[in-house]
A and B are shown apart, each in its own frame.
Chain A
């Protein structure tokens, strides 16, 4: 717990799991969950570097802004997913290709 690398390894694993969720899931809400995992991994990195390397609060500030951004993104994404469901009856993002033709 007193080494930067234990936090960095955790963050890398969290990021990889989030990326796997994003690239393999078809459900829109599940993809959103993967994005949240990735943002959490980035937050851990920012705060860990803030504690161990820079010794300032700038990493905390950036993490606050990332959390704020994640909240806004979740609200808008939920609205889009609900619209998709109303129009097509499912939220599989790989079948939402009406703009392709």
Chain B
């Protein structure tokens, strides 16, 4: 049963990401992106990452996706229904990306990964992440807070009318 759910999520991610990449309508692409984000949250649950799964839903689906929808709504005339998006150099891009994908797949499928046979049993991760965040990763945590402040001020400044 868990195997079945895993492969359903796997296929959901690939199909919705394909819609994002190849879809004609920008709005359809954004809603397909929601499927990708939710699917990745499901993959996190299969990977015993409960904290990350919730963070993924809260930040990506609740925050970034809303920002993207705002970006589309504010920069297109919705009433004229002309939200179709054009692409450039499809053939060349597809060729390069397929070649890269082939290289990646051959590399990672030909390697015999160590330690793949005994995955750990589930244990909650929020406690460990919180402890690491304030010990080993304290400097990174502080830098991240300053970066977020800078991004907040920068975005507010950039988006003003009288720039």
Contacts and interface: CB of A to CB of B under 8 A. Distances in A.
Contacts of A50: 47, 49
A83 B95 CA distance: 33
A51 B47 contact: yes
Q: Which of A10, A30, A52 has the most CB of B within 10 A?
A: A30
Give the dominant DSSP class at A's interface: helix
B104 to A, nearest CB: 4
Interface residues of B, number: 82
Contacts of B64: 36, 70-71, 74
Contacts of B60: 36, 40, 67, 70
Given A17-B17, A61-B132, A51 B119 contact: yes
Nearest to B7: A1
Interface string B133-159: 100010010001001100110111111
B115 A71 contact: no
A75 B113 contact: no
A8 B60 CA distance: 21
A43 B55 CA distance: 12
Contacts of A91: 75
A75 B43 contact: no
Nearest to B30: A33
B101 A82 contact: no
A67 to B, nearest CB: 5
Nearest to A36: B64
Contacts of A67: 52, 55-56, 59-60
